[in-house]
Amino acid sequence: MMKIRLMESSAVAGSTFAVETVGLTKRYPMAWKRKILVALDHLDLQIKPGEVYGLLGPNGSGKSTTLKLLLGLIVPSDGEARVFGLPPDSLEARRRVGFLPENPYFYAFLNGDETLHFYGKLCGVTGPALKKRVDELIDLVGLQNGRERPLRSYSKGMLQRIGLAQALIHDPDLLFLDEPTAGVDPLGSVQIRDLILRLKKMGKTVIFSSHLLEQVQEVADRVAIFSLGKKVLEGSLESLLTENHGTQIHLSSELDAAGQERVRKLLGQAGIADGAVRFSRPHLSLEQLYLRTVQGGVGSTTKDSNSP
Amino acid sequence: MMSSLYRIIVIGRNTLTESLRQKVLSVLLIFSLVLVCCSVYFSGIATPGLDAAGLFDEQIKFVKDFGCGAIGLFGFAIALLSTAQLIPQELQTRTIYTILAKPVRRSEFLLGKFFGIVLLLALCVALMSLAFVGTLYWQEWQGIALVQNVYGYGTPSWHADSISVGQYNHEIDLIDTQVRDPQLIEAVLLIFAKLVMTSGIALLISTFSTSTIFTIVTTFMIYLIGHLESTAREVWLGRGAETSIWQSGLLGFISLLIPDMNSFTIVDEILSGNHVPWSHALNLLAYANVYLIILLALSIVIFDYREL
């Protein structure tokens, strides 16, 4: 899966932020209703090179608008954005940026190979270097069976994967991924998650939006939660998710009733009231169960509460 | 500069591939080729009572009219349909985001798309012209056979009458002159220039239009006005002193805004066998070029400011 050669990001050594915004605002005038829609309201962001940053929020909260502004696809109504210290719409900035849009549709008449060659040429990658890069990326995203097939016959998951490959074609320092796991099966999602982690190890900066909170939790260094065009919460996952009013003890083996009683007594001696102690068995998430089943090759077994 | 040109060419080639792989355009092209070739069949429906020379004269004129008419008509349909959907389709499928997120300027994207359409038109006109030339040669072969039959070429009485031989050679020369008419190159070039101008108008409208239908209808209206404006000028300005200031002003404004498509009807003169000097055709081609540059410059400015 991970055979691709990814160059060390030169930006990591730099002192500037990979992405910096000050009071970034986007307003859309709605002439007919005599109203102004504020899609993004005074966003301040500072994302360091090499960071994996998650954008969370419901639909219409401003995540995609933020990405479009950072790519220079739309012009801010107010405020400023910089990508590696450069204006986002400059060619220099775009040479260092890769983008996967939400629910991407590429040229349906091209096959996988042609699509990557087209985007590669646009980025100035040509000749044997381009051919090698295409081979690497096809291998990376697991689309060997889609090389010769036209994109109109691709599934949603395959489109997402070819989209990811085109975003990486010029080996960018910064990746914007808008819902990268939308429409991808859980196994594919894990592969994308692993790819983000791999990119992070290579010093790349990744900014992505996702509705799959568990995945964000697994890869992001920091997250921002958006609501109605405003950033309402930001921080590292460690600081945001740690609750300061409890302690968890993890045991890798089962503790019977007698054992639980002994632990209660020990904790009681440490001044912890009996009612403050709770014992439960660890639970898998449905995604973990699915992956364990599919990847572990478990057959069609059934398990329910009545099973012996 | 060179890399900019390279990106325009890459986008242009991709646009050509896209157009050629669309079933509608392929069907349109095949149908036009069949129709051009069918002109031979229709030319057989001749006016009764004509002699061999008169019959051939009428048939060859019909083939020329029908062939050039088909090139103009189908070329117009291909130019209009393929250009009108360029930008709206890119926005609808969001493929434009993946391209403009790469180091590609908006102007390069637009010029590349237009270059692709010009390549498509050149290819279609070249193919239809080949079919047209083939049809003309077929008609020439038929005409020569007809003349040979009338003069008994190859029979024992051949050469007996030197006057008949002289007449025979004269009629064969006439056929040759009518079929191998270099002015037909002028006619095809002017048709092509008109098609490219139509495409340029459609491109300009599509830079601010939000639907393909709007672009098609508006371009068609401008095309019609372009044909009628010179007639209006003749009618109004022909009266001399009777022309009011607002009439002259309106005509001036329209002729500045809308290209004079009617001047390209000089093609009809060529097809009627009248001599049109190359200098006149070159003037018209230069006029088309200047107008095209204005159309493209306006398109680039509007598209640069458009919110995507």
Confidence (pLDDT) at B46: 55
Distance (Å, whole) CA B304 – CA B298:
10
B307 vs A contacts (CB less than 8 Å): 28, 74-75
Confidence (pLDDT) at B141: 84
The answer to whether B140 and B57 have CB atoms below 8 angstroms apart is: no
Q: What is the CA radius of gyration of chain B?
A: 24
Which uninterrupted H or E stretch holds B111?
Answer: helix B106-151
Q: Around Cβ B102, how many Cβ atoms within 10 Å?
A: 25
What is the per-residue DSSP string for B42-108? HHTS--TT--HHHHHHHHHHHHHHHHHHHHHHHHHHHHHHHHHTHHHHHHHHTHHHHHHTSS--HHH
Question: Average pLDDT for residues A182-201, to the nearest whole number?
Answer: 84
Q: Which of B1, B93, B102, B113 to mutate to test the interface with A (most CBs of A within 10 A)?
A: B102
Q: Is the pLDDT of residue B180 over 90?
A: no
**Residue boundaries of the structural domains of chain B:** 2-305
What is the nearest CA distance from B108 to chain A, expressed in angstroms? 11
- Provide the number of CB pairs (under 8 Å) joining chain A to chain B: 72
Q: Is the pLDDT of residue A30 over 90?
A: no
- Where residue B38 falls among pLDDT bands split at 50, 70, 90? confident
On whether any CB of chain B is under 8 Å from the CB of A161, the answer is no
Type of residue at B281: A
pLDDT per residue as tens digits for the range A120-142: 999 999 999 999 999 999 988 88
Distance (Å, whole) CA A217 – CA B166:
97
A residues 170-199 lying closer than 8 A (beta carbon) to B = 170, 176
The answer to whether B226 and B197 have CB atoms below 8 angstroms apart is: no
Which residue's entry shows tokens 């080996």? A171
Q: Is the pLDDT of residue B159 over 80?
A: no
State the helix-helix crossing angle for A112-122 and A127-141, rounded to 10 degrees. 130
- Decide if domain A10-241 falls under CATH 1.10.3720.10: no
- The SS3 assignment for A16 reads coil
- Where residue B196 falls among pLDDT bands split at 50, 70, 90? very high
Confidence (pLDDT) at A13: 37
**Residue boundaries of the structural domains of chain A:** 10-241, 244-297
